[in-house]
Structure 1
């Protein structure tokens, strides 16, 4: 409390903070409306005035419910700090705060958080959050008796509600048009976007509340692999892979020279389940497909559970922020628990890890999952080793908008070149196993990335409004001659499907098909390899051209 100042009423403190939030705290919203040419003419001014007063009124309404001696100042300080942080990321990277993005924030590990730290972030937090918060903390407030406080809080709430209704009604026509044609704008309303996202995440969780339902209880191995040569499948789960930046997919830069030397199949029209790891990974390892996964009323086991139940050895190795629950019931390990490593750490000691799996499961076959840090931004320059940096100069800052477009693309392309190096090394390791195994590798990224197109950076936009570069991902397969022989797959047939539209919906069923798992949850129609398998669709053509 500051000496010499007459105590304020709680309503005054609420009004000042909420007006600050509605104006300065929503600069990202006003910038977004301006960029969408929605602030022109008289209608634009009506929209700004009505929306600004409406935001202030709603924030005042929420704050008045908590305007008690021990809660008011902490709540107002929290509003200010959250608003400042959201403003920075929305302006700097084009992010919006929807429920999916909030989940990403909550699941961010310390290393990922450190990559986002910058001088500009600290400055924005100081100017937009800390300094106003200090003012709030130092203002003396008179709360009075609890009965009077209750009456005052109710009066403030009613007045705030009336102001909000009048303001929004006054700008209803331009506001309704804006929300209808620009759905993403609602996620720019700060910090109400965070309040909505928290409520959505907290109260829309019946899928988790009802427990985990088992699936594939009838799973069994029906593959033609002989006991002397069991299958060894490496699933490389890529991070932030843009399909268009892979040289093997026609990119003008040679970002994938090692893959180009291998006999691979690359599907180039694949769409992700989501635009973030938290959204995509659980979805792609589910049997449901994107639409059913989003609408599910309970959680259930996934791909790795079915593979393990069938009798295979399964191991998840992680160089990212965890497996988002999909590896919880199978053996798993972090490759770099004490720091941030390059993805080469995933291959270190792999022979020993393979040998440590139960012998009876190894005898049937093994599925290894390598979860990359890949091209995770914004610190792309940290995702490649010095010897694989082929494109210079590269952006070496976390504040991507401070780099030139060329430097930013160079840094990202270097991370793809390093992924190429990892995949080449993985294939090399698998070739060493051909004497005793039938090895294969499948690389699929979880989502794409924005590199400054339309002033958007990173990923995580709501799926409906996210640009295609955040949703199109690479899907690359390498199979040893023995694996091709035993499965009856026609490589030429697979290459003829390179441009067909596919998605993460096919992932679960395609892996089961490759591993020859017989189960009622397998859907051959969503197995991308099934049409090119001997005995399946196009069998005659496959036999003739393979």
Structure 2
């Protein structure tokens, strides 16, 4: 009977065994505070590799006290993250908050480690205005790996964890205790090494923008608090009294190409004394290159709106409202204005109220790739026809065409020049710049300058073909420079106060036709005498008005480079 009972029970036993084996093992439960502290330690240590690398390189940490300060700084960063997370230490918010912090810290660590950038409000504006095509160029498998290891995997572990939550009142009390304790630890750490902390933050300002993920959240808050930095919806008029002097009998109206360069640094321009001949065509074209020019910012989102403003760098950064800019004043004076944009990122608001042609409409066979990116020469295609479509009454007074280059935009420098304009070999053919030898990186970048040289020379050739009808001229000014691995820095975008000169010193090149020189009184010889005078983007707005003879109260003659030559010629005459 026992054997019979066992035989009959075997199917049930096997069924229960199969059922038991199919069930997942119960997950262990843990207190939320444990995960909060683990996440804070992970973020403060691994998630801040760029911060610790920067601190380790400082001379202040070279002795015993410096090491103790570094340890205290690490404790302070951990306490800061604990303070932040304790505000979200609730059933429905803790996991999303930790996951967001982990992913934010992972992304920040990758870009700060790889390119040597910091995350400040200016960089955040640049990130928010980055288009999909620019973002794709920053994609790489090392970035994916960093995000997975530093952010996704720990976030996935957290998400699978089963947390044991107490009642609401008990949780509120725990959160308050944790917050106060973290504040106390932060104050104690800072107080013990206050002199070291204040000295480090004063002498090495970039450190404050390396603290993950607080740097990102702080920068976003600053940008949100000052929407004027990114919102051009409300724009005040500028130069409402702008007008042009009447053309002399028989004079031809000006036709001026204003080329807004991208990421070109002055010390890689052959005309400025660079060891490599990166500008052979311009050298033959009779241009004048100004060698001591400084940008308004270290990225396009900062520099372009600033250089088109009449305010100057310092006043522009502190502005309380947006105003119209250079293109608006030229149009208000009666000139025909056209903006051609070869960048997907656009004109950053400075061309919003003038006729413009975006990069999609510029596409032409032989000059554009399958992904829609075009070489800068595409802006010269059909230019006559585009100008002919502008109002005839304005064209009779003069035409100004702004051309926004793709130029030397990184990190994929190798995409910015065609095969026949790559004299410097071998070049870095990847967007993971740190994987290339420095010489290859320089080759790829210098090839972009060589192609810009060809583009500008081609623009001058086009202008020479218009001399029977117009008095042509061309001005080229880059928006900012670039770091090419010097001191482990790549690309651009560091805060202006700590950015290296290579990110701020830019080329300014002018070509004037004989007819333009004769009619305006602005001569190439006069400009050549100012080659080494210190100038900046602060001069751009006023000098362009002076170049075209626009009269308005917003013109500051002290900043009008071309007006100096016009006045000198008038006095000599």
Q: TM-score range by the shorter chain?
A: over 0.9
- Of 538, 557, 560 in structure 2, the residue corresponding to residue 527 of structure 1 is 560
Counterpart in the other structure of 2:224: 202
- Residues 223 and 453 of structure 1: is their aligned pair in 2 closer, same or farther, counting only changes over 3 Å? farther
Structure-to-structure mapping, 1:99-498, within 5 angstroms: 99-205=121-227, 211-222=234-245, 224=247, 229-320=252-343, 321-336=345-360, 339-498=372-531
Q: Is the 8 A contact 1:227 1:363 kept in 2?
A: no
Q: How many residues align?
A: 539
SS of 1:529's equivalent in the other structure is: helix
Q: Name segments (4+ residues, structure 1) moved above 4 Å.
A: 206-210, 225-228, 538-541
Measured in 1, the distance between the counterparts of 2:412 and 2:477 equals 21
Measured in 2, the distance between the counterparts of 1:427 and 1:441 equals 7
Please state if 1:97 is matched with 2:119.
yes
Counterpart in the other structure of 2:81: 59
Give 1:539 deviation, angstroms: 4.5
Please state if 1:511 is matched with 2:544.
yes
Give 1:223 deviation, angstroms: 5.5
Q: Tell me which moved more, 403-412 or 69-78.
A: 69-78
Measured in 2, the distance between the counterparts of 1:106 and 1:206 equals 14
Measured in 1, the distance between the counterparts of 2:47 and 2:25 equals 29
- Residues 524 and 537 of structure 1: is their aligned pair in 2 closer, same or farther, counting only changes over 3 Å? same
Measured in 1, the distance between the counterparts of 2:463 and 2:523 equals 20
* TM-score (normalised: structure 2): 0.91
Q: Is the 8 A contact 2:342 2:379 kept in 1?
A: yes
Give 1:15 deviation, angstroms: 0.7
Long gaps (5+) in structure 2: 1-23, 362-370
Give 1:305 deviation, angstroms: 0.7
Counterpart in the other structure of 2:19: none
Give 1:177 deviation, angstroms: 1.6
Counterpart in the other structure of 1:537: 568
- Residues 4 and 426 of structure 1: is their aligned pair in 2 closer, same or farther, counting only changes over 3 Å? same
Measured in 1, the distance between the counterparts of 2:336 and 2:250 equals 14
SS of 1:293's equivalent in the other structure is: helix
Give 1:322 deviation, angstroms: 0.8
Measured in 2, the distance between the counterparts of 1:261 and 1:226 equals 33
Q: Is the 8 A contact 1:228 1:436 kept in 2?
A: no
- Residues 287 and 226 of structure 1: is their aligned pair in 2 closer, same or farther, counting only changes over 3 Å? farther
Measured in 2, the distance between the counterparts of 1:303 and 1:409 equals 34
- Residues 25 and 223 of structure 1: is their aligned pair in 2 closer, same or farther, counting only changes over 3 Å? farther
Measured in 1, the distance between the counterparts of 2:71 and 2:25 equals 36
Measured in 1, the distance between the counterparts of 2:188 and 2:33 equals 19
Give 1:51 deviation, angstroms: 1.2
Long gaps (5+) in structure 1: none
* TM-score (normalised: structure 1): 0.95
Give 1:19 deviation, angstroms: 0.6
- Residues 130 and 226 of structure 1: is their aligned pair in 2 closer, same or farther, counting only changes over 3 Å? farther
Q: Is the 8 A contact 1:273 1:503 kept in 2?
A: yes
SS of 1:475's equivalent in the other structure is: strand
Counterpart in the other structure of 2:31: 9
